[in-house]
C-alpha cells in the first residue's frame, strides 16, 4: 500500500455521534444524510468524513463509537431547527497536523485491512509516532454516485 505523509488542514465538521453496534451504523448514516440535505450540505459542496474511535473487534457492540461528519464552512447554527435529530448534531474539529494517508479504492466493508496495515505494519517501521486523535476517513467517491467497488476513500492516521 502506498502511504503518503501529508499536512492536513484544520477542518470544522458537523457530527452525528454513532454509539452502539457497528451493524446499526448505516442507520445513523441515513439519518445524517437527511439532516445534511435539510441544511444544504451536500457532498458536492461539503466533504464527508468518518472518525472511528474503536476497533469493532475489540469492544462490545454497545461500546463502539463512530462519528459521521460533514465539513462546515461557518459555525453550526441550528437555532431555527428544533427537530430531534438536530439536537444530536454537534460541531467538532479535525485538527491540523501531519498524517499518514492511504488512498483506498473499493468497498468500505473492507477498509479495516487498510487501518490494520497502518497500525500493524507501516507504523512500527516508519519511525513515526501517533497523535492523540482517532483514525479518520474522507469519503471522496461514495455510493450511490459510484458502485460499491468504485468507492474512493482517504484513510488518515494522525501523527506527531
CATH class of the domain defined by 4-158: alpha beta
Q: What is the pLDDT of residue 75?
A: 76
- pTM equals 0.93
Q: What is the pLDDT of residue 83?
A: 67
7: left (phi over 0), alpha (psi -120 to 50) or beta: beta
Q: CA angle, corner 85, sides to 82 and 90, nearest 5?
A: 90
Q: What is the pLDDT of residue 74?
A: 80
Contact of 12 with 71, CB cutoff 8 Å? yes
Q: What is the pLDDT of residue 60?
A: 96
Express the helix, strand and coil content of the chain in percent, nearest 5 each.
30, 35, 35
**pLDDT averaged per 10 residues in sequence order, the chain, 160 residues:** 97 96 95 91 95 95 97 75 73 97 95 96 98 98 90 98
Amino acid at each position: 500500500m502506498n502511504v503518503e505523509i501529508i499536512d492536513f488542514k484544520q477542518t470544522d465538521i458537523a457530527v452525528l455521534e454513532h454509539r452502539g453496534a457497528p451493524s446499526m451504523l448505516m442507520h445513523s448514516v441515513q439519518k445524517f444524510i437527511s439532516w445534511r440535505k435539510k441544511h444544504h450540505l451536500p457532498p458536492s459542496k461539503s466533504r464527508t468524513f468518518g472518525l472511528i474511535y474503536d476497533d469493532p473487534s475489540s469492544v462490545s457492540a454497545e461500546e463502539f463509537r463512530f462519528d459521521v461528519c460533514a465539513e462546515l464552512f461557518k459555525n453550526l447554527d441550528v437555532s431555527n431547527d428544533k427537530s430531534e435529530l438536530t439536537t444530536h448534531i454537534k460541531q467538532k474539529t479535525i485538527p491540523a497536523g501531519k498524517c499518514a494517508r492511504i488512498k483506498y479504492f473499493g468497498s468500505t466493508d473492507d477498509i479495516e485491512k487498510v487501518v490494520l496495515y497502518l497500525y500493524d505494519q507501516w507504523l512500527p517501521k516508519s519511525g513515526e509516532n501517533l497523535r492523540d486523535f482517532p483514525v479518520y476517513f474522507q469519503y471522496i467517491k461514495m455510493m450511490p454516485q459510484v458502485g460499491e467497488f468504485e468507492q474512493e476513500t482517504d484513510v488518515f492516521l494522525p501523527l506527531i
